[in-house]
Amino acid sequence: MNKLYELSEFQKSLLLKGHPLILEKEKTKQKYYAILHFFALKVSADKSTAYRLTQYRETFGILKVQWNPDDSKVYWFLHFERKRLYLLILDLFLILPERSTFFRAICEIKSYFKTLSAKDSIDDFISEFCKGCSDFKYRNYCQPMLKQVYENCTLTNLNSYRMLITANMSAGKSTLINALIGKKIVRTASEACTGNICYIYNKPFEDEHIHMLCHHDLNLNADEAVLNTFDWNQEIYFASYFRNSFSQMHNLCIIDTPGVDFSLNKTHGEITRAAIQSQQYDKLVYVLSASSLGTDAELQYLSWIAGNVPAEKTVFVVNKLDKFKASEDNIETSLENVRQDLLKLGYTNPVICPVSAYCALLVKMNQYGDVLSEDEQDEYELYQKKFKKESYDLSKFYPDVNTENIKNSLLFRCGFYGLENTLFERV
């Protein structure tokens, strides 16, 4: 991670839809925004601060800033608009890119107060708000932003859980990651696609903003156009809310890696092997494509993994099972063959999870209201029919999963709920 950005700040969510100022008069918004702008820019010339301020300005509907605060106006605001002072502190916490800049802004605010007790009361407020329990007079007024501060702080305090995804080329690593997140973030393609390590962190709540950091370039709103045109041969970091029922239990990082057997570019394999040997991760997810099981390349790489990664950290995912033809292939037999190959490599009780990652991605996109393209809609409808059939139902391979609410759901029947359960619940 680029040293300029603390991880927790990179993962911060911010949603301005319910900001208390939206309901205030035009003049009040102008004044509040000018003060916010004044303190934020006093301590940070960062691009991300400028972007956050624009978000506030647009939310408040301010076309032109008309109020220019001098020292006496700032003094008046801080002393006589008490409830807005607390809101200002919360907003600065959400806007500023590092804790140190936030505390510098607080020092600036405190310099407008003479008495020690006034300065202390600001410190008390700050030390309480991260715990979400600050009981102060204007709590109701500040609640929408207080809740966001609390949720951001909570994520930082959760245990970190890192998962590295590896496979040969085009097995569906990136699709599997998108399915875990429930959005199309990392690029997928039928030819060699991921060219370097990509880290994706979760955010505490949905704010519809994907953060992207590459070298020193931070983008707090990476839209589809950016994601589609970006050069995936560089190391890159993302943060986004994960549409995953387990994601709020951990501070998550999923690591995507290039396929190791891309014969035209040997560095892909080298990058991935180096990452597997040097990175910290709690689980390694090895993806096998059901349409090319048992190849030499597969057995070769599995053997390298067996020699380099502790068995208890490794989960095997057999992907693309939607491609099986019920008349020609047998899922049980194929999974048993995979198990036998793994036993020969020394695994005693390998965890093998059969899925269709692409189906799971479409299910989540549909469930969260994303517009599916015509092709995606067709495929989604086909999957609905396919996984209803007994021969395709992958849920039977997850007998330990508690199924009460999801028994007949497509996410369960395409194996993905069982996989998520295996990856996250038993951590």
Ligand X SMILES: Nc1nc2c(ncn2[C@@H]2O[C@H](COP(=O)(O)OP(=O)(O)OP(=O)(O)O)[C@@H](O)[C@H]2O)c(=O)[nH]1
Q: In the complex with ligand X, which residue's Cβ is closer, 170 or 421?
A: 170
Check residue 319 for interaction with ligand X (CB under 6 A): yes
Residue 169 near which of Mg ion, ligand X, none (CB within 5-8 Å, type-dependent): ligand X
Tell me how far, at minimum, the Cβ of 399 lies from ligand X, in Å: 22
Distance CA 284, CA 163 (A): 6
The 128-167 contact track toward Mg ion, x by CB under 5 A, reads: ----------------------------------------
Tell me how far, at minimum, the Cβ of 122 lies from Mg ion, in Å: 48
Residue 358 near which of Mg ion, ligand X, none (CB within 5-8 Å, type-dependent): ligand X
Q: In the complex with ligand X, which residue's Cβ is closer, 142 or 285?
A: 285
Residue 166: beta bridge partners? 286
Closest of 270, 353, 336, 273 to residue 309, by C-alpha = 273
Check residue 254 for interaction with ligand X (CB under 6 A): no
Tell me how far, at minimum, the Cβ of 173 lies from ligand X, in Å: 4
Check residue 167 for interaction with ligand X (CB under 6 A): yes
Closest of 287, 321, 290, 352 to residue 414, by C-alpha = 321
Q: In the complex with Mg ion, which residue's Cβ is closer, 92 or 177?
A: 177
- Write the DSSP assignment of 113-174 as a string of letters: --SHHHHHHHHHHHHHHTTT----TTHHHHHHHHHHHHHHHHHHHSPEEEEEEEESTTSSHH
Q: Figure out which of the listed residues 189, 274, 343, 427 binds ligand X, where binding follows CB under 6 A.
A: 189
The 346-365 contact track toward ligand X, x by CB under 6 A, reads: ----------xxx-------
Residue 353: beta bridge partners? 317
Residue 356 near which of ligand X, Mg ion, none (CB within 5-8 Å, type-dependent): ligand X
Centroid of chain to Cα 159: 15
Distance CA 15, CA 241 (A): 12
Check residue 170 for interaction with ligand X (CB under 6 A): yes
In this structure, is the dihedral angle defined by the CA atoms of residues 408, 427, 245 and 377, taken in order, positive or negative?
negative
Distance CA 38, CA 117 (A): 24
Q: In the complex with Mg ion, which residue's Cβ is closer, 21 or 419?
A: 419
Residue nearest ligand X by beta-carbon distance:
259
Q: In the complex with ligand X, which residue's Cβ is closer, 323 or 388?
A: 323
Q: Figure out which of the listed residues 11, 152, 188, 240 binds ligand X, where binding follows CB under 6 A.
A: 188
Give burial (CB, 10 Å; 0-12/13-18/19+) of 200: buried
Q: Which stretch binds ligand X (CB under 6 A): 28-36, 136-144, 269-277, 317-325?
A: 317-325
Tell me how far, at minimum, the Cβ of 357 lies from Mg ion, in Å: 11
Q: In the complex with Mg ion, which residue's Cβ is closer, 152 or 240?
A: 240
Residue holding tokens 């820019």? Answer: 41
Q: Figure out which of the listed residues 5, 10, 43, 172 binds ligand X, where binding follows CB under 6 A.
A: 172
Q: Which stretch binds ligand X (CB under 6 A): 156-164, 172-180, 218-226, 395-403?
A: 172-180
The 169-198 contact track toward Mg ion, x by CB under 5 A, reads: ----xx------------------xx----
- Per the structure block, which two tokens stand in for 32? 């509040």
Distance CA 72, CA 8 (A): 35
Q: Figure out which of the listed residues 20, 182, 204, 259 binds ligand X, where binding follows CB under 6 A.
A: 259
Distance CA 287, CA 266 (A): 20
Give burial (CB, 10 Å; 0-12/13-18/19+) of 69: middle
Closest of 8, 33, 344 to residue 202, by C-alpha = 8
Q: In the complex with Mg ion, which residue's Cβ is closer, 174 or 314?
A: 174
Centroid of chain to Cα 219: 15
Which residues sit at the interface with ligand X, rule CB under 6 A? 167, 169-175, 188-190, 192-194, 258-259, 319-320, 322-323, 356-358
